[in-house]
Structure 1
Amino acid sequence: MSTATKTAITPAINKRPRPTAGHRMAKLRDMKVALLFILPAMIGLVGFTLVPTVRGIYLSFTEYSILGEPTWIGIDNYTAIFKDELFWNAMKVTLQYVGINIVFQILIALGLALLMHHVAKSALIRGALLLPFLVANVVVALLWFWLLDYQIGIVNEFISWMGFPRIAFFGSEQWAIPTIAFVNVWRHMGYTALLIFAGLQSIPRQVYEVASLDGASPARTFRSITLPLLRPILALVMIVTVIGSFQVFDTVAVTTQGGPINATRVIQMYIYQKAFAESDFGYASALSVVLFAILAFVAFIQMKFFKGNQSDLD
């Protein structure tokens, strides 16, 4: 294209029609409609998230029971936390639970996702994997509490029939946390597998075809192609799983209530007991703020480590 032609076209491109008053009014109406749809969600966010969060942070610097007024005590609650042996025991128990839950849930979910992607093509089978996730946590906990009961549980009946000694799954310090982790893995593995399966679906087939032509084995293909391309979704799954694991409460509350001998007193259970059993809402708020800071730090580290906002497909 000649210079003269470019010079003639450029003013025509740059001369854009200015928005008229009608266009501005239409945009304003669209903005009002958009805000009208967003308003219920914003009310919920402010009323049920932002306001309680700010109030909780304020209460963490006070001594407060529900029967009186908050009394400002500064950082005394936070100082007491670092000297609290029960807090450190709760963190140790929580970390033990988180480690077991994350490892088994992600490994099993990854295996299920690969089976759904390569073997189980039926939508019925894929949907069946989500059934445990659709059941409330309390119902799942009660179900397994009965199934694993030491005296009448069908699992212990089977173990006894096999000639082995019965196991106090929820009543033993050794078995209680692994059992609670197993219950939650069973409930959430289908949902986690579905997230990973969605990531597998986004990987172009051409990549696998090229690897097959190059003679790559299935194990090499999985290690060199599937896992790197799944990194963003695995980072998301890790963050969601870690945050959910730190917040475990209902399964413990229904089954062991923190026992035996604090063996399952996870941090959420400890916060609940401080607030509602001992009416020490200021200290419980400080514990909640500490937990929030830990989760924010862990999520940040995970995003940086796994580079969850980047993809090898770009």
Structure 2
Amino acid sequence: MTTRNSVATTAPPAPAAPAVPAAAGPPRRGRDDRRIAWLFLLPVLAGFAVFYLYPTVQGVWYSVTDYSLLNTPSFVGADNYAELVSDAQFWNSLKVTAEYVVINIGSQTLLALGLAALMHRLTRSVVVRATLLLPWLVPNVTVGLLWMWLLDANLGFVNHLTGALGLDNRGYLTSPTWAMPSVALINTWAYTGYTALLLYAGMLQIPPHLYESAALDGAGELRMFRRITLPLLRPILALVLVVSLIGSFQIFDTVAVTTKGGPVGATRVIYFYIYQQAFTYFHMGYAAAAAMVLVAILGLLTAVQMRLLRASRSDLT
């Protein structure tokens, strides 16, 4: 009897079926923080509306009315603007203001650039920076009174100093020739330190390796300033010039304290002229029209300045 040995074979396991991913749901949206942002912006927007937007709208309305604080505003259309065109004192105040702006911004920017470059390349002392900022911290009225005494024709220290050098005494704030340059240089003294710190902060953003490479190539400090510092400082310089331009057109307190617009209108800047029309002669509508013209001039000059300086572009990459 023949027996057969049967061999049991085990079948290989069937491959596992690939896992089927769960059906993807709709993409989750990030949290919308716009409502919270508007909530935090609400106090600022409220302050802007109350202290800027409303006075601006009211000023535009007053500029087309006849208003003197003693009567109800009456609409006169463009009469105030037409009167401004033929007002010699208005045009003289713009001319005087332009003279002030040129002297003040020119001297202030040049001095501030020099001081910032010296701090950046030679010393970064906190004491030096604090000392430069001190004149800016003094109120403008105090600065005006201080320099009015220093420039006095009889008792002023400046005339005593020039007299010791053999020069004649000069009425810096009483001479039609010297009054406006003196006022402009007073504010240059007060604001140069603050402007220098702004420019110095911009210079700190310039990579040091650029100066190191230029020095290895034999470039001197003056050439590095012209070829590296000035081009890379353009956005900060544009900001400083725009802010200085607007601030220079708003000069008032130094003139009110030292010269009161004199002598013979040599320092009657546009802000002081508007103040006189509004609060000395009570021509509120006329003063508002002059203020609106000043706003338009500042907007135009700012746009041109930003365009020429290409403030939105930087050579720093």
What TM-score does the superposition give when structure 1 sets the normalisation length?
0.90
Deviations, residues 266-289 of structure 1 (Å, cap 9, x unaligned): 000000000000000000000000
Distance 1:299 1:15, change over 3 A: farther
> Structure 1 residue 16: deviation in Å?
7.4
> Structure 1 residue 162: deviation in Å?
2.8
The corresponding residue for 2:17 is: none
**Structure 1 CA distance, aligned partners of 2:311 and 2:295?**
21
Which aligned pairs between 1:248-259 and structure 2 lie closer than 5 A? 248-259=251-262
Unaligned runs of 5+ in 2: 1-20
Amino acid in the other structure paired with 1:17: P
**Structure 2 CA distance, aligned partners of 1:163 and 1:97?**
29
> Structure 1 residue 219: deviation in Å?
2.0
The corresponding residue for 2:4 is: none
The corresponding residue for 1:163 is: 166
Deviations, residues 152-177 of structure 1 (Å, cap 9, x unaligned): 11111222233221110110001100
Deviations, residues 54-92 of structure 1 (Å, cap 9, x unaligned): 110111111111111111111111111111000111011
> Which range moves more in the overlay, 129-138 or 205-214?
205-214
Which aligned pairs between 1:1-314 and structure 2 lie closer than 5 A? 17-19=27-29, 27=32, 31-32=35-36, 34-314=37-317
Identity of aligned residues (%): 52
**Number of aligned pairs?**
296
Preserved CA contact (<8 Å) 1:141 1:255: yes
Greater share of helix residues, 1 or 2? 1
Amino acid in the other structure paired with 1:176: A
Preserved CA contact (<8 Å) 1:65 1:280: yes
Amino acid in the other structure paired with 1:101: N
> Structure 1 residue 209: deviation in Å?
1.8
The corresponding residue for 1:5 is: none
What TM-score does the superposition give when structure 2 sets the normalisation length?
0.89
Amino acid in the other structure paired with 2:82: T
> Structure 1 residue 15: deviation in Å?
8.1
**Structure 1 CA distance, aligned partners of 2:158 and 2:119?**
29
**Structure 1 CA distance, aligned partners of 2:107 and 2:77?**
42
SS in 2 for 1:285: helix
Preserved CA contact (<8 Å) 1:120 1:126: no
Deviations, residues 80-128 of structure 1 (Å, cap 9, x unaligned): 1111000111011100000000110000000110111112221111111
Amino acid in the other structure paired with 1:257: K
**Structure 1 CA distance, aligned partners of 2:136 and 2:222?**
30
SS in 1 for 2:113: helix
**Structure 2 CA distance, aligned partners of 1:291 and 1:203?**
37
**Structure 1 CA distance, aligned partners of 2:212 and 2:254?**
45
RMSD over aligned CA atoms reads: 1.9
Mark the structure with the bigger radius of gyration: 2
